[in-house]
Chain A
Amino acid sequence: MTLFLEALIGGLLAGTMYSLVAIGFVLIFKASGVFNYAQGAMLLFSALTLVSLNEFGFPFWAALVMTIIITVIGAILIERIVLRPLANRNVMTLFMATLGLAYVIEGMAQGIMGAEIRGFDVGIEDLPIFWGDILISQFDLVAAAVAITMVAILALFFNKTRIGISLRAVADDTAAAQTLGININRIWQIVWAVAALTGLVAGMAWGARQGISFTLSLVVLKALPVLIIGGFTSIGGAIVAGLIVGASEALAETYIGVHIGGGIVTWVAYFVAIGFLFYRPSGLFGDIEIERV
């Protein structure tokens, strides 16, 4: 039982990090229908910028502020230069544009800041702590707290601010939003900036765990099953699905992995996701059109 709880709790905590990555995708997809493959590259870019500035001699907080500014400007430029001229094009065109963008950003980031693995020390020692008999990673706890805070801020932003409500309006009906004087180009820039900042937070959390290198952009592949399970348009879905993926990975590793020689973590999420595609193709909370009863 202790083993089960330990695996479950560890998995859920790790799952919040998947949620964090997935939310970045959901934001852009929901508002503009673009599946932003470059989210992983943006995440890598902002994390690399942060460590590079830090290594260059800026204190952590100064480096963080500079990174936030650079990330926001970068996101706005991407929207303006790449996505806006392609507005109203078909989904595949937009996807290919972001795929290309992903490699351009990755290449640039490594060209400018180097390709070696950087350590990213946020000053949290990963000492295990005990809850009764259950062993919990302190780092996982902090990462989960960061993820929860981020989600709470986003929820407030979307529900309580005028920009947040406008953003949801644009996501629901772009043309109707325009007739009310909402500038959709500005809204899309804000969405890209918010998604990029979510990426920065996710990049810091993942970077602190596994170091910052090229492989960080591959968290995209972790986000995909989360998106399939949770639905591409629901932040709540991304959170729940992240937890499901985290928990199933940890449980599968603990109970099944030992019998088949490990390595199960890399594919169990996809296994679950394919199951969802069979039985619930729009995901747990995906956009099934609202229908009146």
Chain B
Amino acid sequence: MSAEEKIISSEILSVEGIEVIYDESILGVSDISLKVLKGEIVAILGANGAGKSTTMKAISGIAVTERARVSKGDIKFKGNSVLNIAPHKLAHKNIVHVLEGRRVFEHLTVEENLKSGTFLHRPTRAQMNSEIDQIYHWFPRLKDKRKTLAGLTSGGEQQMLAIGRALLTKPELVLLDEPSMGLAPILMQEIFSIISQLNKENDVSFLVAEQNIHLSLRHAHRAYLIESGKVALSGTAKELSAREDLHQIYLGVEEVL
């Protein structure tokens, strides 16, 4: 089954023309609209500073803790507006955000990091252990490092830990910000394969921000290309892969040419 053929039903996330302003003065993004349907992997592509992270943070509510606010537009999760909801409450609504730069709890062990992801649905000790074993099944390397301080593990392991920890919150939608950043190509591949697999087997939807266009388009169903805080282009992964001007738009040089 190819990505496009996958049967897609309901809309899970809808970002409707948002503008995000930092510190009441700095424009983060000016006009972003996008949708994620249930069971989809959607990529947000764009160069550094295009507004990928800001869009993700606006959705997860983390923007507010960085003195930013959504000044126009709306964000709906399963039909209901989630604007101005505290980030920890969004986690309870089954949206989880894996922040850019991995952000594991450095002074906690790998296993304690994973435990912290399970707390929100208050599992029993036995449930917690079996859920964590499931993550070890996806990411066997983490099991070998379970007693190691997370800050002492490699970049790839930290990314796996950040994703595994997020999955333990039992999300319907995962916001994944630059999972390939700073990783060796082989590890990028591994991470994306696991994302695809999780998406197929567990029906988790992913919104992935990436600079790595080719890798993302290979695994995503659809993608949005963001440029200077606006959606410049969108379409299915196949359509976008076929466009030859993709890199020019991505680099923001099409006006010059």
B-contacting residues of A (Cβ < 8 Å)? 88, 162, 165-166, 168-169, 171-184, 290, 292
In contact, B154 and A292 (Cβ under 8 angstroms): yes
State in angstroms the CA–CA spacing of A165 and B89 once bound together. Answer: 19
Q: Compute how far the CA of A177 lies from the CA of B113 in the bound complex, rounded to whole angstroms.
A: 10
Chain A contact residues: helix, strand, loop or mixed:
helix
What is the 8 Å Cβ interface bit string for chain B, positions 111-127, against chain A (1 contact, 0 not)? Answer: 01101110110000000
* Most chain B CB atoms below 10 A, which of A165, A173, A177, A180: A180
18 other contacts beyond A165-B115, A179-B96, A180-B91, with CB at 8 A cut-off?
A: A88-B67, A165-B116, A168-B107, A168-B112, A169-B116, A171-B107, A176-B105, A178-B62, A179-B62, A179-B87, A179-B97, A179-B98, A179-B99, A180-B88, A180-B116, A290-B107, A292-B151, A292-B153
B166 within 8 A of A: yes
Q: What is the predominant secondary structure among interface residues of chain B facing chain A?
A: helix
Interface hub of A162, A175, A178, A183 (most chain B Cβ within 10 A): A178
Bound together, the chains give a CA A21 to CA B87 distance in angstroms of: 34
Q: Mark B234-249, 1 if CB is under 8 A from A, else 0.
A: 0000000000000000
Whole-angstrom CA separation of A175 from B116 in the bound complex: 13
Q: Tell me if A168 and B88 are in contact (CB < 8 A).
A: no
What CA separation (Å) do A162 and B91 show in the bound complex?
17
Judge if B108 is at the interface, Cβ distance under 8 Å.
yes
B108 A176 Cβ-Cβ under 8 A:
no
Residue of B nearest to A163 (CB): B119
Q: How far is the CA of A184 from the CA of B116 in the complex (A)?
A: 13
| Residues of B contacting A88 in the complex (Cβ-Cβ under 8 angstroms) | 65, 67
Query: Least Cβ distance of A27 to chain B in Å?
Result: 15
CB distance from A176 to the nearest CB of B (A): 4
Contacts of A183 in B (CB 8 A): 86, 88
Q: For A290, list chain B residues within 8 Å (CB).
A: 106-107, 149, 151-152
Closest 10 pairs (CB-CB, A-B): A181-B91, A181-B120, A290-B151, A172-B105, A178-B87, A176-B103, A179-B97, A169-B105, A169-B116, A183-B88
Residue of B nearest to A178 (CB): B87
Docked CA distance A165–B65 (Å): 22
Residue positions of B touching A, CB distance < 8 A:
60, 62, 65, 67, 86-89, 91-92, 96-99, 103-108, 112-113, 115-117, 119-120, 149, 151-154, 162, 165-166, 169
Q: In whole angstroms, what is the CA distance A115 to B162 when docked? A: 54
Task: Give bound CA distance, A162 to B154, whole Å.
Answer: 26
- Which residue of B is nearest A176, CB measured? B103
| Bound-state Cα–Cα, A290 to B104, Å | 12
A169 touches B108 (CB 8 A): yes
Which chain A residue lies CB-closest to B57?
A: A175
Partner of A172, one of B60, B108, B154: B108
Set of chain A residues within 8 Å of B89, measured between Cβ atoms: 181
CB pair B166 A178 closer than 8 Å: no
